[in-house]
Amino acid sequence: MTAQKKLDKIGLAMVGCGTIGRIRANIARQYPGVEWLGLCDIKEDLGRQLAKDTNADFFTTDVRELLDRPEVNAVMILTEESQHTEPTLLAVERGHKLFIEKPLATDAHESEQILNAITESGIDACVGYTQRFRRRFLTIKERLTNGQIGDVHSVITRALMNRMVPIATISKTKARKNLTPMVVSGTHSLDMSMWLMEGKTPASVYARSNDKVLGSLGIKDSTFGVFTMDDGTIFSMNISWALPTVWPGSVYGLEIGIVGTKGVIDVEDTHRDLVLATEEPLPAGYTTQNYQPPMERHVDFLTSYPPGDIWNNQLWGPMKEETISWFTRIMMGIETPHASAADGHRNLLLTMAMDRSAELGKEIELPMSPGDFRDH
């Protein structure tokens, strides 16, 4: 995906001042090309604190007021998952460069609306799939592109996650219908697999889910599924985000096996190669406000927090790489590994198709359109 018209300087509007907004705002403040920084959040105390901490040039609780500022030419949508649509469409109307946290939306019709608006406007828009910026996956992508394992015919993924992720996610909204393991979190490993299998198109999917742990909160524990691609390639996609809060992985542990006609790539991304054990209580990993885990953690798989890790009060890792790469993209017009809006929409429909297959207990033919999800 190649960037378009370059910017001489960045006037950055950031919509959303939560955990990810704070990370990206701090990175933006350190990037010399960002000459103006404006923030917006409906929680005024949260937003004003971040504005103070980052020495932002402007803060408001009104997204229109921010996007209409004459300094703005680039926008990052960093709100919670179900609130991307309005600010994204407003940014598209104004012709700004766009970065949108995944998923593009949590509703299939809204996702299509966003994609159509972006496509019709011709603006440059990227979706935040941070793991594309980790060195190991960029290396794998290059080897696959060079044909070093031949034609890929089988892919297996397994993701295990601390249940703090769904607890934190649902605490932010009562609109929980599409807040499933696949739509919210499995989308990362699905995007990675589809990126690595670029050119292959899913033809059908069969999936199953269960909810013995998180069912009382209105969400699923685990979803397992198998995609069959149009060329016969099979892709197994499994995720559980119901592991106990004492699980040493702060967030994510991922395994991927990619089998080709001439070779194989085996990825262990579980972070078990760097283990901390201590008598001191450890943070609960992915936390949310006003929630105290039921027990202490004393073992941690270090580096398992997807955005990266802290040194000297600075975040280092894939989210920094991703953010700076986007700034460089829109200023220099270089090609980057970012997911496109079309990728984001495809990922949402595929994760929702897995959930639909699990709900119906049968294989589903693909592709599905947003209309296929109506009234469900």
List the CATH number of the domain containing 257.
3.30.360.10
Q: How many domains does the chain have?
A: 2
In this structure, the answer to whether residues 123 and 182 fall within a common structural domain is: no
| Conformational region of residue 323, where left means phi above 0, alpha means psi within -120 to 50, and beta covers everything else | alpha
In this structure, the answer to whether residues 44 and 189 fall within a common structural domain is: no
Q: Residue 2's pLDDT is what? A: 46
Question: Is 245 a member of any domain?
Answer: yes
Cα of first residue to Cα of last residue in the chain, in angstroms, is: 33
In this structure, the answer to whether residues 127 and 215 fall within a common structural domain is: no
Contact present, 360 and 366 (Cβ < 8 Å): no
Question: Is 54 a member of any domain?
Answer: yes
d(CA 371, CA 357): 16
Low-confidence ranges of the chain (pLDDT < 70): 1-4, 171-177, 284-292, 375-376
**Secondary structure element (H or E) that encloses residue 145, with its range:** helix 135-145
In this structure, the answer to whether residues 53 and 193 fall within a common structural domain is: no
Contact present, 354 and 371 (Cβ < 8 Å): no
Question: Is 351 a member of any domain?
Answer: no
The CATH number given to whatever domain includes residue 70 is 3.40.50.720
Question: Is 352 a member of any domain?
Answer: no
Q: Residue 296's pLDDT is what? A: 86
In this structure, the answer to whether residues 122 and 161 fall within a common structural domain is: no
In this structure, the answer to whether residues 92 and 170 fall within a common structural domain is: no
Question: Is 22 a member of any domain?
Answer: yes
In this structure, the answer to whether residues 83 and 207 fall within a common structural domain is: no
pTM (two decimals): 0.93
Residues sharing a CB contact under 8 Å with residue 276, sequence separation 6 or more, in sequence order: 282, 299, 300, 302
What tokens were used for 185? 């979190």
Q: Please state, in angstroms and as integers, the Cα–Cα distance from residue 105 to each residue in 3, 72, 211, 223, following that order.
A: 22, 23, 24, 20
The sign of the CA dihedral 150, 151, 156, 161 is: positive
Please write down the long-range contacts of 137-146, taking CB distance under 8 Å and 24 or more positions apart.
137/192, 137/196, 138/337, 140/196, 140/258, 140/265, 140/267, 141/195, 141/196, 141/337, 143/265, 144/196, 144/258, 144/260, 144/265
In this structure, the answer to whether residues 111 and 255 fall within a common structural domain is: no
Alpha helices in 146-288 (DSSP H): 164-170, 187-196
Q: Residue 355's pLDDT is what? A: 95
What tokens were used for 126? 């990227």
In this structure, the answer to whether residues 113 and 146 fall within a common structural domain is: no
Domain that holds residue 122: 10-131+320-339
Question: Is 56 a member of any domain?
Answer: yes
Q: Residue 1's pLDDT is what? A: 47
In this structure, the answer to whether residues 99 and 144 fall within a common structural domain is: no
pLDDT digits (tens, 9 = 90+) for 4-17: 679 999 999 999 99
